[in-house]
Amino acid sequence: MQAFIDLDHQILLDEILMLMLPTGIIYAYYALPDMWDSLYGALFAGGLMLLIFLLSRGGMGAGDVKLSFVLGVWLGFKASIVCLMLAFVFGGIIGVLLLASGIKQRKDPIPFGPFLCIGAYIALLFSPYLIYFYWNLFV
């Protein structure tokens, strides 16, 4: 739902994020190996996006930082890495295509929330396989 709201209105609702946070904690308690993994994922994803938010001076929204933090709770550390990598890759590809086609101009905002949601969905389902595949490429 957040992805579609961000596409239409370029805003990520705090009300939905505040509902996702406790449900993510409950999910992490039952599904992840330990609760520390959930905390590490939240700190990594939220911290990285906060750093990008601060360095970009408005190029990334605060809602993306909050969404990344909540997704880190849901996914844990390793899957958060996969989520962010996929979001950056998909966002970059779509951004280049939108610029090349003339649909968007260089200064036009492109919502990043949908790419985070797509990355989280894929990471939730396939992160062990993607980590194994990626690791075997280089080792």
Residues 138 and 115: their CA atoms lie apart, in Å, by 26
Per-residue pLDDT of the chain (139 residues; tens, 9 = 90+): 778 888 888 888 889 999 999 999 998 888 887 889 999 999 999 999 999 999 988 778 888 999 999 999 999 999 999 999 999 999 999 999 999 998 988 888 889 999 999 999 999 999 989 989 888 888 7
pTM over 0.75: yes
pLDDT at 88: 96
